[in-house]
Every structure is written in C-alpha cells, then in structure tokens.
Amino acid sequence: MSESLLVVDDVVVEYPIKGFRTPPFRALKGVSLDIRAGETVGLVGESGSGKTTLGRAVLGLAPVTGGAIRYRGSDISHLGRAGRRALSSEIQVVFQDPYTSLNPSMTIGQILSEPLTVRKVSQRDASARVVQLLDQVGLPKGAEDRLPREFSGGQRQRIAIARALALEPRLIVCDEPVSALDLSTQARVLDLFRDIQEETGVAYLFVSHDLAVVRHLSHRVAVMYHGEIVEWGDADQVTARPEHPYTQRLFLAAPVPDPVRQEQRRADRLRLAEQQRELAVQGGAVV
Ligand SMILES: Nc1ncnc2c1ncn2[C@@H]1O[C@H](COP(=O)(O)OP(=O)(O)OP(=O)(O)O)[C@@H](O)[C@H]1O
C-alpha cells in the first residue's frame, strides 16, 4: 500500500429539487478522502448521511458540483460516456441487492462474459476467463450454464462479485454488498472480499451502515454525518477510540432503520440494478 489510487478532494454533490426556485439539496458538503492501491476504506454513517452518494459520485452517477475526484492523477468527476466506459475496466461496483442485479434470462456464463465480449475479447478467451472467475469466487463447476434463479442470495452476490472482477479492476465500490444476506452468509462473503484483495491487490470503497462489517474489512474508516466526514483515519483507531461525539454515539448504538429511507431505497433498487449491469458492461451512464 503506498500512493493514492483515488483522491476525493473537497467534493460537493447537489441534487436538483423540483419546484420553482427551490435550491438544490446538498448531499455532500465538501468531502475529502483517499484510497491507496490494495486498501479497503470503510464508509460508515447513519441512513441519509451521504455514503451511497459518495460511492455514486466515484462511479460518475451523482452530479459533482464542486471539488474533484482524481483517479491515478486524472480528474474523473465530469467524464463523458466514452471516458466512463474506458474507466469501467479500472473501477467497478457491487451493489446491495443480489436478486435484482443479475439479468434473470441470461446464464451465469453469459452474465460474466458480457463485459469481455463487449470489449471484443474472443468467445474462447471469455469462456476460459468465466471458468477462472467462477473458481475465484467459489462457485461450482457448471454454474456457467445455469440461471440466476437457481442460486441463493449469497451465491448471487458471488456472481455479482465475479462480474465486477471480470475486467480486473483496481478499485471496486461496494455499496452495502452484504446487508441483504443472512449473518453466516455475510461472514463468508466478507472473507471472499478479503481473499480476493489478497490475491489481486484490488482496493475497495466499502459502504456500510454496519460497524462490525466495516471493522472486519477496512484498513481506514471514514465516518459520515449530514454530508460531511466527521472522522477519518486508521480503522483500529477510529473504531476503538472514536473522537467525534457523533462517532461515539454511532458506535454505542446500532443505527435504527428509518422506514421512509428504507422505502426510498427499495424504490431505488431496480434502477441501481440496471445501472450496475450497465456499469459492468458499458461503463455506465453519465448524469
Ligand atoms: N437522487 C436523489 N435526489 C435527491 N436527493 C437524494 C437523491 N439521492 C439521495 N438523496 C438524498 O441525499 C442524502 C444522502 O443520501 P444517501 O443515499 O447518499 O445516504 P446514505 O448514507 O447512503 O443512506 P442509506 O444508508 O440509507 O443508503 C439523503 O438525504 C437522500 O434523501
């Protein structure tokens, strides 16, 4: 771990609000952090604090209206479609919901080879890579011929991880990637994330509301509150000796789910699932 792969520098994200002269909603109010090659940065905070927005800004899916996001030195905050497409072999994503993120009518082999064949990799090389990917994420031989519905939630998330790995990215944005799974499956999928990092040196921006999950995996942790980072540093230090009063509260009490936000997230899920496929395959849409 050495130089920064990604630098988030004083980033502001504002969502337009419908209505005459209504000012935009400022979801990120000048956020800064960096991610080094091979590192996991955990992003925690209560519901609505801006974690997903930061992940989406890195992916080019949220409107950055101030500051800059630099990937290996280049500003990627306002890339067009072609630039995003090129970047999708470097930065990938795994979202929360393994049930909607995989096209139900495609076999696992088709899902995993799609990002490759779109980039003109031969069918033969793509098939070989699919076998390699399935092995890497611990799925059985023959899985390539089956459909997503034949797999459990944990296995589907392994498939989503395999798809994210297909192009050998250096960074994966993981947005609550285990929160839809039961506890024992969560533990196994988290171990998989760690094993993959050891094998490939990929870095993760790991968004979670679950402190235990973040503590398990992260080298450094950022704590978000109302669109700002209120604590940022070494994971052991932030989790063992939180300094900011908000972080201390966050670590004392498990966050209470907000039903309105939960409903909003459910509504967002289908759209996010489509974006995840689009990102894996084409490099995503531009906001
Ligand atoms: N597309 C959007 N348009 C307008 N406001 C939005 C949009 N997306 C998010 N927001 C608002 O931005 C704020 C931050 O949302 P965000 O989803 O980033 O938070 P979060 O910390 O990831 O929350 P959760 O853990 O519930 O997912 C919230 O107040 C949310 O309502």
The answer to whether residue 287 sits within a structural domain is: no
Look at ligand 1, atom 26, and give the residue with the nearest C-alpha. Answer: 47
Ligand 1 and 100: CB distance under 6 A: no
Residue 133's nearest CA partner among 141, 145, 122 is: 141
Mind listing the pLDDT tens digit for each residue in 60-116? 999 999 999 999 999 999 998 889 888 989 999 998 887 788 999 999 999 999 999
Look at ligand 1, atom 8, and give the residue with the nearest C-alpha. Answer: 53
* CATH assignment of the domain containing 266: 3.40.50.300
Ligand 1 and 49: CB distance under 6 A: yes
Number of structural domains, the chain? 1
Mind listing the pLDDT tens digit for each residue in 123-174? 999 999 999 999 999 999 899 999 999 999 999 999 999 999 999 999 999 9
Percent of the chain with pLDDT over 70: 87
**Residue partners of 72: CB distance under 8 A and separation at least 6:** 5, 90
User: What's the pLDDT at 101?
Assistant: 82
Ligand 1 probe mutation, 51, 175, 229, most atoms within 8 A of CB: 51
The pTM assigned to this predicted structure is 0.88
The answer to whether residue 252 sits within a structural domain is: yes
Question: In the chain, which residue ranges form alpha helices assigned H by DSSP?
Answer: 51-58, 81-87, 108-118, 123-136, 153-165, 183-200, 211-217, 235-240, 245-252, 259-281
- Give the Cβ contact number of residue 14 at 10 Å: 17
User: What's the pLDDT at 268?
Assistant: 57
Mind listing the pLDDT tens digit for each residue in 14-69? 999 888 788 889 999 999 999 999 999 999 998 899 999 999 999 999 999 999 99
Q: Is the confidence at residue 285, as pLDDT, over 50? A: no
- ipTM of the prediction: 0.96
Cα of 228 vs centre of ligand 1, distance in Å, is 13
Ligand 1 and 29: CB distance under 6 A: no
The answer to whether residue 201 sits within a structural domain is: yes
The answer to whether residue 195 sits within a structural domain is: yes
Q: Which of helix, strand or coil describes residue 49? A: coil
* Structural domain for 108, as ranges: 4-281
The answer to whether residue 84 sits within a structural domain is: yes
The answer to whether residue 168 sits within a structural domain is: yes
User: What's the pLDDT at 254?
Assistant: 52
The answer to whether residue 286 sits within a structural domain is: no
